[in-house]
Amino acid sequence: MVSVVFLSSFAVAFACIAILRPIAENIGLVDKPSERKQHVGHIPLIGGISIYFTILIITQFFIQETLAVNLYLISCSFMVLIGALDDYYDISARFRLVAQLLIASIMIWGAGYALYDLGDLFGLGRVNIGLLALPVTLLAVATAINAFNMTDGIDGLVGVLATVSFGSLCVLFYWAENQNLFVIAATFVAALTAFLLFNLGGLRRLFGKVFMGDAGSMMLGLTIVWLLVIGTQDGEGSFRPVTALWIIAVPLIDMFAVMHRRVRKGKSPLSADRDHIHHIFMRFGFSSRQACALIGLISVALAGVGLAGEYFSVPEPVMLFSFIGLFLAYDYAFLHVWRFSKWMRG
């Protein structure tokens, strides 16, 4: 079953990319070089759209139809539409945020999923936030979407980080014997593998390079947070809420550190800049491929901490405060990155 799902998803994603690439070139759905985008040529922005069509097709054959799945596909459709409009017209960050919150409401009020139970975070019993669950969930969804969207700055990075998160979710849902959600996560792993071959691997030389696009990065963030919410809140839950932090640790920590720095500079936290983790690695002299590989390995290590904590039932307060300590250390290093940079350069 697993191999059939993976191979089918890979084949569908491969076919979608091959078919949509020339169409995107003809209609102008391409990423053009600019001051912030230093690639060569006009690159089709159809990686995310191809993954979207893959999940639409695969769900018809391998996933049991439920209200939650149907509402997820509706949410996904709206998110891809907003992302594609952003890719084509470069819409404002404020408009994107409003659209993301409206799409998140489908999960909350349509499917009935929200972060009511945060687990035993402080060793004093389970934390149930009641009415605060609705705004907290809206914030969590918008955070995850933008965290992954912000990582899409160098070739392959958002695809690698999302693959790590979906792969970790595959493990967690396999342990919990949740077949529907396991298949969704596995489908994304396979589709992302096909995308990365066009974005980073040898297929880009044979067929031409493609980018994920905002349609893809926002859809990935939406899907991951949807699976995290359902995985932690559905009945007994497939895993503990604190584990979710480690599954998306790199995009989450980097986003909050970047926003903290922007606010300290008197800028909008939603403004664009070149201060993300991949930019920092490249300032230290790493190539974009090396930066992607190193950040990917860090993400695997942190997701591994989360999986180990779940498997061995490490107390939730230990997992929470370890994560907070990790963030504070990164944020401090981030704020003093120029000092570290000068020291490393000697």
- The confidence score (pLDDT) of residue 81 equals 95
What is 242-291 written as a DSSP string? Answer: HHHHHHTHHHHHHHHHHHHHHHHTT--TT---S-SHHHHHHHTT--HHHH
Percent with pLDDT over 70 in the chain: 91
pLDDT in tens, 23-75: 998 988 887 765 555 545 689 999 999 999 999 999 999 988 888 899 999 99
| pTM strictly above 0.85 | yes
Are the CB atoms for 172 and 239 separated by under 8 Å? yes
For the chain, which residues score pLDDT lower than 50?
A: 39
- The confidence score (pLDDT) of residue 73 equals 95
- The confidence score (pLDDT) of residue 284 equals 81
